[in-house]
Each structure stands twice: as structure tokens, then as C-alpha cells.
Amino acid sequence: MKVSFHGQSVVQIQTETHTIFIDPFITGNGTCDLDASKVKADVILLTHGHNDHVGDTIDIAKRNNSLVVAPNELANYLESRGLNTHPMHIGGAHQFDFGRVKLTQAFHGSAFVDENGQSIYTGMPAGILLTTENKTIYHAGDTALFSDLKLIGEMNDIDLAFLPIGDNFTMGPEDALIAAEWINAKQVVPMHYNTFPLIEQDGDAFASKVKPGKGIALKPGEAIEL
């Protein structure tokens, strides 16, 4: 399995049978190396409804007939836009043909601003635990530090975790280091930083402070083999 990072919170998981994207914010993302018009996706997993996470979901999903898995209210809204969706909620898990998805807590907000400037409530934000090909990937979404991250680490054998470090809107590097310790993943990748001036951070500096050998700051387009 190949897991690649594409700036902000965009993650691609390539299994033997499926191409999966998490939070495909590509257009307007100056840190992203992808062209949204050329992206192929069998599945799109969304953590919450903010535009810098939903991103190009509607166009990509319509073009590819992708399955979109999202928190319930966000899934319902996207279904109203003509997408094939599967609604979930925090604490719930479901076994799909591409793997098992479980939504976790995330402390943040969630609303989508449509093309008319209307703000649409899209439910509670979430993190994502994806287990596929006997590996577990944790995408924390946008979140503050919270103590149940320790429980997530105790209950799951996490191979790869993506944690926000941008500060201002999410955890900053100091809190993310605590989260990394609690989650105890085999590898930790920083995300949600350097996309905008307010969230400029040094990803390499963060990675160097994670337990030796566990932190890795992927540049957009770089990948990890699991």
C-alpha cells in the first residue's frame, strides 16, 4: 500500500484495488502538487465540512462516480448535490469493500460555504481510522489536543498517523507532540500547515521532535509504503 501526502490535509491511499482520498482540497491549495481535473478516486473520505477539506470533492466524485464517506449531515448535503454517499457518525464503524472506516472525535467546527456564499451546517467534525490491507491509518482531521487521543492510541494499533500542527485553527506543534506520544503510531506525519500565513510551521522541526525514527515530514507528492 502506498500513502502519499499532497499538502494541507490531502492524503491519498493506493491499495491493490482502490484509490482513496481524504479531504481532497486541491484547487486553491498552493501547497498541493495535484491537478484536480486529473484526479481519479474510487473513494473519498471527509473529516468535516470546511471548504479547505471538502475541496474538490463534488467535481471529483461526479467525474469518477466516487463513493463519499462523511459525517452524517455533510453526507446528506453532498447527496443533495448528486453524490453517492455513505453517512456515518462519531464512534461508528463500517466495513466497506476497500477497508474498515471508524470515525473518531475531533474538536473543531464544520460548515460548508456554497457557491452562493451560503453557510451550511455540516454536523460534527471527525477524525478517521482507516484499516485496509492489515494496516491502520489515523487521519486526525482538524482538532485540538484532547485526552481521548490517548484512548484512541490504546484501542488501536496505528501504523501511520497524520496530525495537524498549524496552530491557530488546530493543535500547534507542542500539543501535536503530546498527541503523537498518546497515539503511539509507528510513524507520524504533520499536516494542516503552511497553506496560509496563519498556519506557517516547520514540519521538519516537528518531525525531529517526535520519538526517534517515528516522525517524518512528507513534502507534497512524497509517499510512504506500508
Pairing of strands 19-22, 11-14: antiparallel
Check: pTM over 0.95? Answer yes or no.
yes
pLDDT value at 186 more than 90: yes
pLDDT value at 212 more than 90: no
**Element housing 209 (H / E):** helix 203-209
Per-residue pLDDT, averaged over 154-159, amounts to: 98
Q: Which domains does the chain have, with CATH numbers?
A: 2-225 (3.60.15.10)
pLDDT value at 85 more than 90: yes
Residue 142: predicted pLDDT: 98
CA angle 105, 109, 112 (to 5 degrees): 120
Write down the mean pLDDT value for the chain. Answer: 97
pLDDT value at 218 more than 90: yes
**End-to-end alpha-carbon separation of the chain, Å?**
5
**Percent above pLDDT 90 for the chain:** 99
Per DSSP, the three-state class of 75 is helix
